[in-house]
Amino acid sequence: NAGVTQTPKFQVLKTGQSMTLQCAQDMNHNSMYWYRQDPGMGLRLIYYSASEGTTDKGEVPNGYNVSRLNKREFSLRLESAAPSQTSVYFCASGRQGAFNEQFFGPGTRLTVL
Amino acid sequence: AQSVTQLDSQVPVFEEAPVELRCNYSSSVSVYLFWYVQYPNQGLQLLLKYLSGSTLVESINGFEAEFNKSQTSFHLRKPSVHISDTAEYFCAVSDVGDDKIIFGKGTRLHILP
């Protein structure tokens, strides 16, 4: 099992460019999450999906959109990147009823110039 | 509303010395509590969790944490640290029945030779 995979690992964008971060899990989990990690801020939830076909905003959703393509895949899109979106992005998945334990991907390091 | 406070952003400790990483939370309902560890340039991994029952929980690599409901704390301890414990540690809380986890801002553990 690969667990949670994320692509790309690194990305550099110019202000105003768009991109999509991809996430996939092979653990048959219902719930999936996108977080951003910034120094001294911990992890902040951007969006989450409790099940296929549903998505909800987290703490910091502005400037992002998500798509739950199927049970395995959950993508995060930046339509017009800004320097404030420079961060490390983590995808996670979890099984409902499993006491909320989440499994994390390796992260995508994004720099917006 | 939930919140998690990790009182120390960095903790330096000599190898083979004991360490305690402090965590306090606020919530008005029953909670699950977690400690996650992030080794350099990696994603987060679950270290240990409190769900119910015994208030003292242990990990496979010698860490333990004690749930103290009256003090709303979940401090992480290890009697003797090793250089391989160098990492950032995140305390997290989830309301029972909620899909989401709230993370603290992290404590960076520095092991001194």
B103 to A90: CB separation less than 8 angstroms, yes or no? no
Strand order in the sheet with A19-25: A4-7, A19-25, A74-78, A65-68
pLDDT tens string A12-43: 999 999 999 999 999 999 999 999 999 888 89
Tell me which residues of chain A, numbers 60 to 89, contact chain B at a CB-CB cutoff of 8 Å: none
CA-derived radius of gyration, chain A: 13
- Report residue A72's pLDDT band, with 50, 70 and 90 as the boundaries: very high
d(CA B28, CA B93): 12
User: Helix H segments across A26-113?
Assistant: none
Among A42, A96, A107, whose Cβ lies nearest the Cβ of B90?
Answer: A42
- Take residue A87 and report the two structure tokens written for it: 């961060």
- pLDDT tens string B12-44: 999 999 999 999 999 777 888 999 999 988 899
